[in-house]
Amino acid sequence: MASVVLSGDTSGSITIAAPAVAGSTTQTLVNVTGTLAPIVSGTAKVAVTDFTTSADFTGIPSWVKRITVMFNGISLSGTDAILIRLGDSGGLETTGYISTSTGFTGAAGSTANNTTGFVVQSDTAAYLISGIVVITNISGNTWVESGSGKLSTAASWICGGDKTLSDTLTQISITRTGTNTFDAGSINLLWE
């Protein structure tokens, strides 16, 4: 298939119209700096079937500016916390993170801090962790993260942090703070 080239007018906008089937079929693209790309979904990884110690996602394109890590019913065999590690062409980086997470049950909270990855607090093996962590490129190779979700029907978690990589981000690994194994749930990424 040949490439399609569209030229804008002096307003800085390009309008694309297709024959109407139902509803509106017009999309206007505004002139912006950077790459216009779709939201891309990775392939979901299921605990025990696809991983027990880490869920690894490689081949993340260099143009990515935001990554969403999604947890669905993730469980660990003990009281470890979840760690999200970023990597570049030199491998996963395990130092230099400034990260904190708090798990809440009612008004009481339990906080974990970590410098080896972005931490998601979970201090009970019975918890099934669901939620999202959004990791955004603020400039250069510096990334900030923020997330929230549920630990159980009566508990929740929040997290935040930052990390500067030595090179362009190409991979992410979701692991744990100790030697527990993942024993339930699934993990996936969206990037854009």
Helix, strand, coil % (nearest 5) of the chain? Answer: 0, 55, 45
Domain map of the chain by residue range? Answer: 40-191
Given a contact cutoff of 8 angstroms between Cβ atoms, the answer to whether 76 and 122 are in contact is: yes
Per-residue pLDDT for the chain (192 aa), expressed as one digit of tens each? 565 666 666 655 565 555 555 555 555 555 555 556 678 999 999 999 999 999 999 999 999 999 999 999 999 999 999 999 999 999 999 999 999 999 888 767 789 999 999 999 987 888 999 999 999 999 999 999 999 999 988 899 999 999 999 999 999 999 999 999 999 999 999 999
Return the bridge partners of 107, or none: none
Task: Tell me the fold of 40-191.
Answer: Jelly Rolls (2.60.120)
